[in-house]
Structure 1
């Protein structure tokens, strides 16, 4: 399965445009082979963990598929298509405008170059019918919000032998309760107490790989960042791993017991004494 990038070659675009206008250039052949199917797009919701580790997801797509009654021919009881009498099978109408020849899609056969004289009763000559199709999608580890997956030839079927379109799947990642993503890094806020910040402590913190113990140095200030290398999200293609970024948040107690209040008052007195006697 290809991932999100679809390249458009400007040379191909201008070649087609000016080739048609000049009446030459890179022709696709003097006779069209049916109409190509439309590309389709849908949104796929995945969890934070599914995007980080990868997953297989089942999806349902309503799309045009080859008609089972006429086997895609569009004709009733095996009736074969005939050449369009307006474009004579080329699928294009060409008009001379001064020195230029301008080509446009034939309005009668919609560019297929063919007409159905006795159309199928199921698909009414289109050769396709709507159907709900179940597909399995492989979500690669490390995919990010808004990126697209391309499923080749899983769009609408082409008409009268034309190529099938593609299906594009846009990834929508649900937010996590405690983690925030930044590229391949994962951010997490670690709450600690005043005493843990002042004296230092060993605390347990969650990561995508499970809980780990982290040493908090004595004198740690609120807002300090700590990095756990390799504890983030796998990079697309498996080339490396992001980090876990811990933001320390020193919590101020809102309710104190009598003993705790007395200890804080003693600490406040010591701090005041230290400020009044800086050389002590």
Structure 2
């Protein structure tokens, strides 16, 4: 009996990052249901039934799939997890909020499906990419102040792994004191004047699935003298690339952050 056969064979992924990771591990055959918000990889939407949103799920549909494991994320999915557990389903809820915790989650999932060695190879590749980016960022003349806006009304600043990735990419989070607060409601900046006061050099929007509108940001009353607005340093990173605490953020998300920082340095260093 192999380690792979000992692990779960019918997995429902309630968020995108575990789906993406299982595909990268070559274990997509185990997935029997995914989140409706899944866009990575694109083929998953065509191949797998969608059984959940983020805060809700179709419990009957999940049970009909006869999963032997369900992967969820954080206390935000606690009610879904509890309902499934009451039906006798094994549920593993990860709560990764930092870069280190994301790597830990990735290894745990890989080990559960008998791909611990393959997982370590991929993890080391991602860690090397981060190290290379951090090394390049250390050579820049200046570190720009970055305001990362996770939502626009009200203003919500970056969650911890995004704040950490900004640092790796060569910038400094304008609101580092909020980054460790896990819930978005606790990262609300009620007074937009405080953002103006901190005068970010770069503003990055990732509005949780809603298209970022730089012209709306630039038109906010009192924002005309913010450095990022004056210098047209307003950018979008898609939420699927940066706000999923999994492979995407550690590869595509941080790479986009780094390009923005490096381009800014070419202009203002």
Task: Kindly indicate which of the two structures has a greater share of residues assigned to helix.
Answer: 2
Structure with the larger RCO, 1 or 2 (CA within 8 Å, 6+ apart) = 1
Q: TM-score, normalised by structure 2?
A: 0.22
Higher strand share goes to which structure?
A: 1
Query: Based on CA coordinates, which of the two structures has the bigger radius of gyration?
Result: 1
TM-score by length of 1: 0.21
